[in-house]
Structure 1
């Protein structure tokens, strides 16, 4: 019997805000609104494209920072030591993210897109870019372990700086050569990867840690968690919706002009996200990690850093390339699928885990805690 993780259990019943209750609706509207905006204002993509610093879109970067800060401000950093001591969680996460995930995406890309090398390469890039941003949102909505998510995201970030280029060379050049398949080379700057990691993780992580450190020492943990956090929590979802709208505004023309291609790219992505999440949750349960950490393991395994995948695809192959389009389809599929898996996780907790795991309604009401 798996150990019960009571840390995820709610401490109080709270009324869900309209934003929380209708989250899938808002995300869908953000996607549709972004696509419509991109189609109705063709010059928007050019304007946003000029608003870059070091290859990073400033508006998208700001949206990601706003999205990640509240979640990382919730982390109790004094508990991180207990997370790093859980070797089962750390080893499982590294195995899923850096062995199983890239290998599975490579297989799916070749099975579903054997005749479309550009899209195939784009999918492989998505599989190599492990999630360092939105996973904290999905994990928090599903009432996963915030401290564990912070640690795993940090570890993935460090591995990503070193491993992305090496794995890209292996899966796009070495392995296809061994198997007698078409070769697709990749020239990726380690500096660009490091910059993405610093911006999308380092800045909000530092801000979140500083907020808690100052808040607890000036007014105490009670005030910080009962007064400060509820005020900033909604901004995580505002940032998420803003980022989604901008991404789809930028690529609305490509998505709407190639609907059949989008469907072909979407199929292996659907299989990938569902398979990685399921394997992560099942592995966590089999190891006795409890609901919260099993959920964290599942979402950190399933999520991907589409910002990095898109940036690499555009920088290497061009903004109008099939590789870039495949990267853009990534969040088009990932966002609704992982939102759906948030609800599957919550509603499945009563069946898969012990009574200490949160019920669907009670867990969702803790989102604002």
Structure 2
């Protein structure tokens, strides 16, 4: 994940940013669409697949699906550099800004966009809200590196978000899905979502892989060294997260049934607020960070961390709380479908903004 930063000697946007991504990451939307098509085919070929999958469960999720949800999170969390928390003391203002952007501004913005764009589709609206609460903890390292941000700052912010998600995701989920809509006389979730139901899913599908990822990093870095772990182990482990995601998507779409006939329109309606969210969240975070006096590298790390989301966690919680065939789970799947092209565009935007607002970083 910590590839060498792009040269800072030229103010121009480098050609071929997308080509710096691995083939798996670059074609992620293609793999997701293929998994959707395969899942629909399996669902038609085996109409009783859902019943078979529910034979053995982990909590409320069938065991085969739960294993996919756990695996797609584990490689992501094994990448987090948990030992970077020492920087919190020396960069308090920066990290306080990140916490406000990630845990106040981001969730409120996604909540507003979900109600604005999907007032008549509560299932998809709930799914978007769950996405807004799931702060980015992995792919942000790639976008940050491509935009020449600070790898060290991004690593700490990722670790910080991991901890905050364990502590606050269930509280905020209950607040945004059930409490706040009631303040405005609106119906939130289709049924009341308890804080414990969300917390249980977070503890299982984030807590378990987080502990496993932290133990993996701690044990292997002591045994083989940091360089071996970053340069040899993670490049082999990381791509398997995509396999877990695709495996889960195949099973999800195998259980969607007749709803798939509405898929194209549904995808468009879910995508629009996500695209607006990416653009508004990134640009607002960028200019706020610039106004607060942070340099380009810090500003970039803050902006991409604020704009990115942990779609794997959102999918896992949606499946655990609302069910595999729910609209909430489908909304979660749309996120990574458009994330790659949207965030690549923001990489180019960040490098373009560097020329005008941070000329010292372009020389």
Q: What is the CA-CA distance between 1:123 and the residue it aligns to?
A: 0.5
Distance 1:146-1:60 versus aligned 2 partners, 3 A rule: farther
Matched, 1:271 2:281: no
CA RMSD of aligned residues (A): 3.7
Cα deviations by residue, 1:186-228 (Å, 9 ceiling, x for unpaired): 5223222222112222222212221222222223223323332
Asked if 1 retains the 8 angstrom alpha-carbon contact of 2:198 and 2:317, the reply is yes
Matched, 1:202 2:203: no
Number of aligned residues: 335
Match of 1:161 among 164, 170, 177: 170
> Greater shift after overlay, 220-229 or 201-210?
220-229
- Partner SS for 2:261: helix
Q: What is the CA-CA distance between 1:138 and the residue it aligns to?
A: 2.6
Distance 1:111-1:224 versus aligned 2 partners, 3 A rule: closer
Runs of at least 5 residues in structure 1 that lack an aligned partner in the other structure: 1-5, 359-369
Partner of 1:305: 314
- Partner SS for 2:180: helix
Matched, 1:53 2:58: yes
Partner of 1:337: 338
Q: What is the CA-CA distance between 1:87 and the residue it aligns to?
A: 3.7
> Greater shift after overlay, 212-221 or 121-130?
121-130
Cα deviations by residue, 1:30-77 (Å, 9 ceiling, x for unpaired): 233233333433222232344422113433332233223223223332
Separation in 1, partners of 2:242, 2:287: 28
Matches within 5 A, 1:1-369: 9=5, 18-83=23-88, 86-114=91-119, 116=120, 119-120=121-122, 122-124=124-126, 126-128=128-130, 130-132=132-134, 135-143=136-144, 145-174=154-183, 176-177=184-185, 186-251=191-256, 253-257=258-262, 260=265, 263-287=268-292, 288=294, 289-300=298-309, 305-314=314-323, 324-325=326-327, 327-353=328-354
Partner of 2:151: none
Distance 1:53-1:198 versus aligned 2 partners, 3 A rule: same
Q: What is the CA-CA distance between 1:155 and the residue it aligns to?
A: 0.6
Cα deviations by residue, 1:273-307 (Å, 9 ceiling, x for unpaired): 44334434444455422433432222149997243
Partner of 1:366: none
Separation in 2, partners of 1:357, 1:27: 37
TM-score (norm. length: structure 1): 0.74
- Partner SS for 1:243: helix
Cα deviations by residue, 1:73-125 (Å, 9 ceiling, x for unpaired): 233322122147644454444434444344434443444444x3xx2364146
> Greater shift after overlay, 90-99 or 227-236?
90-99
Partner of 1:363: none
Separation in 2, partners of 1:281, 1:41: 49
Asked if 2 retains the 8 angstrom alpha-carbon contact of 1:34 and 1:248, the reply is yes
Cα deviations by residue, 1:321-364 (Å, 9 ceiling, x for unpaired): xxx32x13412431222122232233334323469999xxxxxx
- Partner SS for 1:236: helix
Asked if 2 retains the 8 angstrom alpha-carbon contact of 1:38 and 1:44, the reply is yes
Asked if 2 retains the 8 angstrom alpha-carbon contact of 1:132 and 1:304, the reply is yes
TM-score (norm. length: structure 2): 0.75
